[in-house]
Amino acid sequence: MSGALGPFLLKRLALSLLTLWLLSVVVFFGCQVLPGDPARAILGPLADPRAVAALNEKLGSDRPPVEIYLSWMGGLITGDMGQSYAYRSPVAPFIGSALVNSLKLAATVFAIVVPLGIGAGVLAALRAGRPIDRLISVAGLSLTVIPEFVSSIALILVFAVLLRWLPLSATWPAGSGPLVQLQHLILPALPLVIVLFGYIARMTRAGMVEALSADYTRTAILKGLPWRTVLSRHVLRNALLPTITVIAAQMGYALGGLVVVESLFRYQGIGSLVLGAARAKDFAMLQAGILTVGAFFVVTTLLADIVTTLLDPRLRTGGRR
């Protein structure tokens, strides 16, 4: 690592920690202003007010918000996400199980869409202005605007109902192996592949077109390097830098923004867990779920910054982007 790389990454890390802290403040106080209270949600709308007040006192939800926030943050630092009001048990196991499920779905999505999107973007750039370029660009843009619930229903009807190639539910039987789990994850992954394909393909194409016309590419060609070497060592290395950032941003979306897909396919991921916590006024679960998604987004963005910094010679030498 060069001398300029260390301070750059330290600055990114400090910014990530600041972002997480601000997110915790927004999440916590945003939950505090939601209507209703945990005791009323637990006891029901017809419960005696004195019983509601007693339960709020027992839960600690009647304390000043700042005191509750400091207690909550202290627990998070030590790994304690609090107690679920709805389940009367620690939040962490629920978050961990849902997070693992969402990571499996996200991994399936990106295992499909990343090679497809990058490959299509590279092909479109190498055939810029030709019919295949127009086809990929128009198809990618058109697929991006299709709502997930529309594509999900269409895919269910075709592949699960008519053809019976894939299982309808994303929930696999207990004790299933990796191949069975993958079979259940392909169908819910496809709506996300449809949405994300256009973003990755267009960003890859734009980076490729810019890199192909750059001075370093022309210099490499004039040196007599083989075209495959020029493409792999010079063009792709620089063209994929913005694509890495886009993929990292979409990974955060693929983890926590899948409420519709998880609901349609009855999948117990982090998105459906957050939705259920919001409906049940389970603020401890809601706060932990949203903060987990935010933390994942910050971590993936930080990793993308690190990879981009390592690949970009201007940053390694202390130059400005």
- Fold entry, domain 94-316: MetI-like fold (1.10.3720)
Largest CA distance in the chain: 85
Tell me the backbone φ, ψ of residue 62, rounded to 5 degrees: -95, 5
Rounded to two decimals, the pTM is 0.81
| Mean pLDDT value of segment 85-110 | 88
Cβ proximity of 273 and 260 under 8 Å: no
Residue 4 has pLDDT above 70, yes or no: no
Residues facing 83 on adjacent strands: 90
* Residue 256 Cα distances to 249, 275, 289, 295, angstroms: 12, 10, 9, 11
Cα–Cα distance, 180 to 167 (Å, whole number): 10
| Residue boundaries of the structural domains of the chain | 35-80, 94-316
Which CA distances in Å does 61 have to 8, 38, 244? 42, 8, 43
Sign of dihedral through CA atoms 230, 234, 237, 240? negative
Name the more confident of 148 and 38. Answer: 148
Predicted local distance difference test score (pLDDT) of residue 218: 85
- What are 275's strand-pairing partners? none
Distance separating alpha carbons of residues 21 and 141, to the nearest angstrom: 36
Q: 151, 191 in Cβ contact below 8 A?
A: yes
How do residues 18-47 score in pLDDT, each as one tens digit?
988 998 898 888 877 776 677 777 777 777
